[in-house]
Amino acid sequence: MYFFSANLSSVDLCFSSVTVSKALVNHMVGSKSISYTECMAQMYLMFTFSNMDSFLLSMMAYDRYVAILPHFFCDPYPILKLSRSDTFINDLMVFTVGGVIFLTPFSFVVSYAYIFSNVLKMPSTHGIKKVLPTCGSHLPVVSLFYGAMLGVYMRPSSSYSLQDMVIAVIFTVVTPLVNTFIYSLKNWHMKRALRR
């Protein structure tokens, strides 16, 4: 949207300059004359910039239409769903690249399973009391984020639904919000400030 707004501002500035500059000169000089060449150049530039204005405004309208497909950000699957062509290659690319990029960090997160299995083998509750404050806050955030990502992107784009849009809100809005609270509340200074 900012790209279109910046271009629209530039085109509007040029569009106004084409007519207003000559009108101001004529007003200051007290003349209403314009040469044939100046007139043709002014008409050409006026039509060019007005057409650019028109196309930019229509593109901005389409951009807003796409933004209001019921989505609040430019998610790849809703965009692919708008396509009238076969999206098999795009889906394959999302699965391949997304799988590698997604599964590499996820493989480290699976270490929680090892942590919990080792803690459960301990005879005392001391291990559980130590693990819960350390891992307990991080695990729900990781589950929300990776669960939402798996649920939305690890299946074909043709199955994208309203429910997936809600899930997309979870990993784009809820998870970062929860991260802020969880990691700041673990901070001793933050806890003290909240108590005050």
Residue 89's pLDDT is 86
| pLDDT tens-digit map of 62-77 | 776 666 576 666 677 7
Whether the predicted pLDDT of 141 surpasses 80: no
What is the reported pTM? 0.52
Percent of the chain exceeding pLDDT 90 equals 5
Distance between CA atoms of 164 and 167, rounded to whole angstroms? 5
Indicate the pLDDT class of residue 87, thresholds 50, 70 and 90: confident
Residue 81's pLDDT is 75
Collapsing DSSP to helix, strand or coil, 115 comes out as helix
| pLDDT tens-digit map of 6-29 | 888 888 888 888 888 888 888 899
Within 10 Å of residue 7's Cβ, how many Cβ atoms? 16
Secondary element (H or E) of residue 165: helix 162-169
Distance between CA atoms of 14 and 45, rounded to whole angstroms? 9
Q: Alpha helices of 2-137 — where are they, by DSSP H?
A: 2-29, 36-67, 76-82, 88-109, 111-121, 126-135
Provide mean pLDDT across the span 120-127.
Answer: 76
Mean pLDDT estimate for the chain: 78
Whether the predicted pLDDT of 187 surpasses 70: no
Residue 45's pLDDT is 92
